[in-house]
Structure 1
Amino acid sequence: MVEIICAGFGGQGILTTGMMLINAGANIGQNVCWYPSYGSEMRGGTANCNVKISKGKIASPYCKEPDILFTMNSPAIDKFENILKQGGYLFVNSSIVDPDRKYRDNIKVVKIPTTELAAKVGNSKGSNIVMLGALIKATSIFKKEQFIEAMCKYFEDKGKSKYNPKNVEAFEAGYNAV
């Protein structure tokens, strides 16, 4: 089982990130669970979700010791870094997190300038997708093509397929940044 917590400000695509991950898992026959949590104000408040992807049964939606922590801001790191599994991955949006910040020494920290990379490909709302590209490359929890297919299908199902070319560019930017 892979346990992931995605966290950041509302409006950064945190809950959507979790949904894309579980859709990718379901597309390859895995059992999945998505458990969202967000403040009363969607934009600007805090948001996070617990994601589980497993070949076996999933007993609880809550991640006690996640393998992967996907963070888009400093408060997300503050809140969840201490529960990240030893040897786990911490993905950091280095565009807005202090470059001198200290991290635990028993985890793998992957810093990606998601805001800059998303802007560079002309997809300013795609910072989360940039980070997903980095996550997929660093962890190999999905094959690149599997994830891109699932991501595009997710947006097609939402009636937003016109964004797929820019979303794929954002994904590739993050994937190539690792």
Structure 2
Amino acid sequence: MKQLELIIAGFGGQGILSAGRLLAYAGMLEGKYVSWLPSYGPEMRGGTANCAVVISEEPVGSPILDTANVLVVMNGPSLEKFEKLVEPNGLIISDSSLVDAKPKRTDIDFAGVPASQLASDMGNLTYANIIILGKLLEKTGIVSKESFELALKKVLPAKKHHMIPEEMKALDMGCNY
């Protein structure tokens, strides 16, 4: 994929903004042009949150997306709100343990991953966003796992570095689902 134009959306507290930031950082580590634009409601945790991420081989014209070639959703309202913005032949990935509905469109690729259930089975619900990103990396190849791991080391505070091996297991789980 030459350019990823991605919207990640869900509830605050699900790691939506962190997922976008990690992905953009991994792209930057690979020498790509990136932008990350977070958006969230005033209520933060439990409210709506989304971010737009662009990773490209060419300079990014604007961080604002009117359309996207990939949508990642971690709640039903986000699928309903953003599905129409996905370009034909685009990709939608959902956390199927939280999003019962499937996209109505037939001109896109769809992958449902029960990320929250898998993360719960791992013993840490916060890994759901990483599991979803694993599926994204597997489907698009936009950044390497190695760059993603390095982004975790650069973005996470040092006191959280002990979690990186488990986060990488979560990423692999998503890739292989």
Normalising to structure 2: TM-score of the pair? 0.93
Match of 2:65 in 1: 63
In 1, the alpha carbon distance for the partners of 2:123 and 2:170 equals 8
In 2, the alpha carbon distance for the partners of 1:42 and 1:162 equals 27
The alignment's C-alpha RMSD in Å is 1.4
Residue identity in the other structure for 1:66: A
Residue identity in the other structure for 1:171: L
Report SS of the residue matched to 2:87.
coil
Query: 2:149–2:164: 8 Å Cα contact kept in structure 1?
Result: no
Residue identity in the other structure for 2:99: V
Match of 1:54 in 2: 56
Does residue 170 of structure 2 align to residue 162 of structure 1?
A: no
In 1, the alpha carbon distance for the partners of 2:123 and 2:166 equals 7
How big is the shift at 1:129?
Answer: 0.5
Match of 1:116 in 2: 117
Match of 1:9 in 2: 11
Query: 2:54–2:63: 8 Å Cα contact kept in structure 1?
Result: yes
In 1, the alpha carbon distance for the partners of 2:12 and 2:119 equals 17
How big is the shift at 1:162?
Answer: 1.7
How big is the shift at 1:64?
Answer: 1.5
Match of 1:149 in 2: 150
How big is the shift at 1:138?
Answer: 1.2
Match of 1:173 in 2: 173
Match of 1:73 in 2: 75
Query: 1:123–1:170: 8 Å Cα contact kept in structure 2?
Result: no
Residue identity in the other structure for 2:124: N
Structure 2: runs of 5+ lacking an equivalent: none
Match of 1:24 in 2: 26
Compare 87-96 and 163-172 and name the one that shifted more. 163-172
In 2, the alpha carbon distance for the partners of 1:176 and 1:111 equals 13
How big is the shift at 1:102?
Answer: 4.6
Residue identity in the other structure for 1:162: H
In 1, the alpha carbon distance for the partners of 2:123 and 2:167 equals 10
In 1, the alpha carbon distance for the partners of 2:176 and 2:42 equals 36
Report SS of the residue matched to 1:125.
helix
In 2, the alpha carbon distance for the partners of 1:87 and 1:10 equals 29
Runs of 4+ in structure 1 off by over 3 angstroms are none
How big is the shift at 1:165?
Answer: 1.8
In 2, the alpha carbon distance for the partners of 1:162 and 1:146 equals 18
1:17-36 Cα offsets, whole Å, 9 max, x none, are 11001100100011111111
In 1, the alpha carbon distance for the partners of 2:147 and 2:45 equals 30
Report SS of the residue matched to 1:161.
helix
Does residue 136 of structure 2 align to residue 135 of structure 1?
A: yes
